[in-house]
Structure 1
Amino acid sequence: MTNVLRRPWVVPLGFVAIAFIAFSLPPYLTGDRAQARVQQPEFSWHYPLLVMHVIFASIAMLTCVLQVWPWFRARYPHVHRLAGRIYVFGGVLPAGVSAFAIAAITPFGPAAFASSMIMAPLWLIFTYNGYRAARRRLFVDHRKWMIRSFALTMSIITNRIWGVVFTIWLLPQLETTFHGDDELMTYSIAGSTTWLGWVIPLLIAEWWLQRDEVAKRKARKRTPVAAQAD
């Protein structure tokens, strides 16, 4: 309970992840292409890859919540390791590879294309580095890489939030700024949301890691002083 109180965001994060998956996943379990939120009928392989991506990304999100829960990690270390393997091989790896393929033919414009083509490899690299560090028992490095991976895994949620924000902001400008061009407005919304969706969480993760490093350096400097005083 103490660990939960020290990490008050863990339980809300779990609820948000479950609610997001409960809303996003069901349309892709029907096998009906018409229910897909992204339509690419000219590419027959797009829909199967999209379904694959959504399912495995959902697995990554759920297992990721368990991975960042200190109480669960301390109480059930064996389950933590098993969930970690599922996160890597049954979540991020297939979801990241499929995301890269889907991004190559995105209908949402060049900005969204560039964002996804950068994020997908980063997601795979961060996760691989975290897994490799754990295998080498470099747990400090493991934690750092997995925090970065966690930020990208959960960034789909912030992506959707930014999507709502930019839609509300830009939709009234359709006839003025975009001269009635729906496609141009869609490109602008998608480009903004895809970049902000993962860049901001990753920057926050880096700030968090740097904050920890500063705190550790200060603690190391205080330790010799305290020893001398004794």
Structure 2
Amino acid sequence: MTSTHAPVPPRQQAGWWRRPWIVPLMLVVAAFLAFSVPPYLTFDPAHSRLKPPEGNDLYYPLLVAHVLFGAVAMATACFQVWPAFRARHRTGHRITGRVYVYAGALPAGVLGLYIGWHTVAGPSVLVANLVGSALWLAITIIGLRMALLRRYDEHRRWMSRSFALAMSIALSRVINIPAVIVLTPQVDTAFGGNEELMRNTATSIGVWLSPLLLLLLTDWILERRKPRARRPAPKAAALAA
């Protein structure tokens, strides 16, 4: 994402209307950020959607920074996966790519490790957040390295996976809704009347399932877009035999 000197395949020269998913994607990201970010712009811990651990004064300011860096990553990632923007505005692609990496994914991922380690939502959410943040960092760094080595096809594949992980936070919020609906009738049985434990379990389902689903979907799309090897013509095949 940080460099695009490679020739652009003809299929990437199409306008946005040839990739109708880009507009819904941007609308979803805009709606998610409009809902998630404003409470943290007040810098008031009372408005935080995540319960801070007791006695940890560092948690909330780092959470705010994590949210803001994550917002930058999500916003710039949309332009990175937009084929028409990537093909027609290569300088813009390089600039937004650097912003995505250095002012988005990397700082948000590092802070995510701290936020995940100090979560009060239980051990399953803790491990899921640590694994997700570590994967995001590792995959983004690999993608960046592929760009620096001018291995652009591999760069795009790894950055597509980085994009999937950047978007997993939004999907996890969506998954939480049916998870809570399904688990609520079991509060008095499976959770012993502990509603907080039930909600933590629903959160755990979201943070584990969302990156897994998006990574699987991303790799399925990448495999479908691989150029297929052409079968040799009958005459050439006969001569080769």
TM-score normalised per structure 2: 0.88
Is 1:104 the counterpart of 2:148? The answer is: no
Residue in structure 2 matched with residue 47 of structure 1 by the alignment = 60
1:124, distance to aligned residue in structure 2 (A)? 0.6
What does 1:110-121 align with in structure 2 at a 5 Å threshold?
A: 110-121=123-134
Partners of 1:186 and 1:20 in 2: how far apart?
Answer: 21
Runs of 4+ in 1 over 6 A off after TM superposition: none
Instruction: Select which of 135, 143, 147 maps to 2:156.
Output: 143
Residue in structure 1 matched with residue 38 of structure 2 by the alignment = 26
Residue in structure 1 matched with residue 16 of structure 2 by the alignment = 4
Partners of 2:145 and 2:104 in 1: how far apart?
Answer: 16
Paired residue type of 1:4? W
Residue in structure 1 matched with residue 233 of structure 2 by the alignment = 225
- Name stretches of at least 5 consecutive residues in structure 2 with no aligned partner: 1-12
For residues 88-112 of structure 1, give each alpha carbon's deviation from its aligned partner in whole angstroms, at most 9, with x where no partner exists.
0000011000001110011111111
1:186, distance to aligned residue in structure 2 (A)? 2.3
Maintained 8 Å contact 1:110/1:191? no
Residue in structure 1 matched with residue 83 of structure 2 by the alignment = 70
Q: Using CA pairs under 8 Å that are at least 6 residues apart, name the structure with larger relative contact order, 1 or 2.
A: 2
- Name stretches of at least 5 consecutive residues in structure 1 with no aligned partner: none
Greater share of residues in helix: 1
Quick check: 163-172 or 86-95, which moved more? Answer: 163-172
Maintained 8 Å contact 1:130/1:146? yes
For residues 22-72 of structure 1, give each alpha carbon's deviation from its aligned partner in whole angstroms, at most 9, with x where no partner exists.
111000010111000112142110001100000000000000000011111
Partners of 1:115 and 1:226 in 2: how far apart?
Answer: 53
For residues 73-131 of structure 1, give each alpha carbon's deviation from its aligned partner in whole angstroms, at most 9, with x where no partner exists.
11110010000000000000110000011100111111111111111011011111111
Instruction: Select which of 165, 169, 173 maps to 1:160.
Output: 173
1:227, distance to aligned residue in structure 2 (A)? 9.0
- State the number of aligned residues: 224
Partners of 1:194 and 1:90 in 2: how far apart?
Answer: 23
Paired residue type of 2:48? A
Partners of 1:136 and 1:52 in 2: how far apart?
Answer: 31
TM-score normalised per structure 1: 0.92
Partners of 1:79 and 1:227 in 2: how far apart?
Answer: 47
Partners of 2:234 and 2:33 in 1: how far apart?
Answer: 50
RMSD: 1.7
What does 1:164-179 align with in structure 2 at a 5 Å threshold?
A: 164-179=177-192
Identify if the C-alpha distance between structure 1 residues 226 and 156 changes in structure 2 by more than 3 Å, giving closer, same or farther: farther
Paired residue type of 1:99? G
Residue in structure 2 matched with residue 126 of structure 1 by the alignment = 139
Residue in structure 1 matched with residue 48 of structure 2 by the alignment = 36
